[in-house]
Homo-oligomer: A and B are copies of this chain.
Amino acid sequence: MNLTITDVRLTPILVADPPLLNTQGVHQPYTPRLIVEVETADAVVGFGETYGDTKYLELARPFAEKLIGRQVSDLNGLFAVADEVAVAETRVSGQVDVGGLRGVQTADKLRLSVVSGFEVACLDALGKALGLPVHALLGGKVRDAVEYSAYLFYKWAGHPAGVAAEKDDWGAALDPAGVVAQARLFKERYGFTSFKLKGGVFPPDEEIAAVRALAEAFPGHPLRLDPNGAWSVATSLRVAEELGDVLEYLEDPALGTSAMAEVAAGTGVPLATNMCVTTFAEIAEAFGKGAVQVVLSDHHYWGGLRNTQQLAAICRTFGVGVSMHSNTHLGISLAAMTQVAATVPGLHHACDSHYPWQSEDVLTERLVFEGGKVAVSDAPGLGVEVDRERLRALHQRWADDDGGLRERDDAAAMRVAEPGWVTPGVPRW
């Protein structure tokens, strides 16, 4: 058995994304992802997936070159490789725009997001080489299926007229009735029993009404609301007060550790976050201030599956809950999320996943939610197979793009419908 990495391939792609609304704007019709392949001397190929914007790709290319000749089992070494890769322009300030709604933006976080793509690919290859599932490389599963939450979005029926886009069959959801209809569809199609609404789109009273409607339609089911930090402390406390009896947790109501700590001090509703605690460096202050009660991990920007386990251990040690955040992703990442989630003890909240919104995938066979859960594969590696023709076609779309879709920009997408739109200031309400 030769575990030496002999080839690394990077394939940027564009995948269809429905017109999902958030506080910054709306999802573009296509969103970039990067598919990572590592191949060993024995011709074993492992796959990973991460963010696909140009800045990730530019960092991934020199990273990939440095992997040649290393052992696919040398996962701790990936962080040293990341440090070696020159990102001179971002190192100057230490700050870089990693885009979206994922908290503090630093060169370090950008590097970790790239590390995660390679780490998952290496774990997939290592598992295939050894004949072991990834969860066994992470110490073994403690559950046979991982529960996910229905990720509800306000959305338009379709992307703006005249914009090249794939159609979706979810319909519009712009009021409480629309949100409940979407939730019913989620339950019907995938069996989800907990529901999260992406908020920060409409004034708080409208979103309160939507969550109330969900509570009436699904009594006793765990509900979550996530305005991505769009609210003031006062608004956050008012929403917590009004929805406290039905919320499993409130996610990132206000922006920043201080504001979150103020909200936490004023309500018994647990606060979850994927914006306030998004790096190891942010943990000490946030935990010290009691700013968050549930950290939503994301193996992409936390630096991989093993870092996700470490984050979970830290949370467990400090009595903070843990669950999983999701951005737009495909089946490789869902498999990775499921494998690591299977190994984390005390996972008391269903994980988030955008996967149902992605009609396209690079897999030969899509992963399946049954009763809201994804079964933990015991097949070698991640247990998924990539369809090379689909990968090629989605890459071709990326190669052909000249409309700026290679960089995710929800505000730009919104400007197509609403010229003059700018990302609202925070707090928006």
Q: Which residues of A contact B (CB under 8 A)?
A: 1, 71, 73-77, 79-80, 130-132, 136-142, 280-281, 283-284, 287-288, 306, 309-310, 313-314, 316-319, 343, 345
Decide if B313 touches A141 in the complex (CB within 8 Å): no
Contact among B73, B77, B140, B306 with A76 in the assembled complex (CB-CB below 8 Å): B140
Residue of B nearest to A282 (CB): B317
Decide if A343 touches B76 in the complex (CB within 8 Å): yes
Decide if A76 touches B288 in the complex (CB within 8 Å): no
Contacts of A130 in B (CB 8 A): 130, 132
Shortest beta-carbon distance from A122 to chain B in Å: 10
Decide if B75 touches A317 in the complex (CB within 8 Å): no
Contacts of A280 in B (CB 8 A): 313, 316-317
With A284-B317, A317-B280 given, is the CB distance from A142 to B310 under 8 Å? no
Decide if B284 touches A140 in the complex (CB within 8 Å): no
Decide if A140 touches B77 in the complex (CB within 8 Å): yes
20 pairs, CB–CB < 8 Å, chain A vs chain B? A71-B140, A73-B136, A74-B140, A75-B140, A76-B138, A76-B141, A76-B142, A77-B140, A77-B142, A130-B132, A280-B313, A284-B287, A284-B318, A284-B319, A288-B288, A309-B310, A310-B310, A310-B313, A313-B313, A314-B317
Contacts of A343 in B (CB 8 A): 76
Contacts of A141 in B (CB 8 A): 76
Decide if B316 touches A76 in the complex (CB within 8 Å): no
Residue of B nearest to A73 (CB): B136
Decide if B73 touches A140 in the complex (CB within 8 Å): yes
Shortest beta-carbon distance from A40 to chain B in Å: 14
Residue of B nearest to A283 (CB): B317
Contacts of A73 in B (CB 8 A): 132, 136, 139-140
Contacts of A1 in B (CB 8 A): 131
Contacts of A142 in B (CB 8 A): 76-77, 80
Shortest beta-carbon distance from A35 to chain B in Å: 23
Contacts of A319 in B (CB 8 A): 284
Decide if B139 touches A76 in the complex (CB within 8 Å): yes
With A1-B131, A310-B310 given, is the CB distance from A75 to B318 under 8 Å? no
Shortest beta-carbon distance from A409 to chain B in Å: 33
Decide if B306 touches A139 in the complex (CB within 8 Å): yes
Complex Cα gap A343–B74 (Å):
10
Contacts of A316 in B (CB 8 A): 280
Decide if B345 touches A71 in the complex (CB within 8 Å): no
Complex Cα gap A174–B13 (Å):
72
Complex Cα gap A132–B317 (Å):
31
Contacts of A317 in B (CB 8 A): 280-281, 283-284, 314
Contacts of A71 in B (CB 8 A): 136, 140
Decide if A139 touches B284 in the complex (CB within 8 Å): no
Complex Cα gap A310–B313 (Å):
6
10 further contact pairs, Cβ within 8 A, besides A284-B317, A284-B319: A71-B136, A73-B140, A74-B136, A74-B140, A75-B140, A76-B345, A137-B137, A280-B316, A283-B317, A314-B317
Shortest beta-carbon distance from A285 to chain B in Å: 10
Complex Cα gap A281–B319 (Å):
9
Shortest beta-carbon distance from A365 to chain B in Å: 26
Contacts of A139 in B (CB 8 A): 73-76, 306
Contacts of A138 in B (CB 8 A): 76
Shortest beta-carbon distance from A303 to chain B in Å: 11
Residue of B nearest to A140 (CB): B74
Residue of B nearest to A74 (CB): B140
Residue of B nearest to A280 (CB): B317
Complex Cα gap A54–B152 (Å):
57
Residue of B nearest to A287 (CB): B284
Shortest beta-carbon distance from A44 to chain B in Å: 14
Complex Cα gap A410–B310 (Å):
37
Shortest beta-carbon distance from A344 to chain B in Å: 9
Complex Cα gap A172–B124 (Å):
56
Contacts of A283 in B (CB 8 A): 317-318
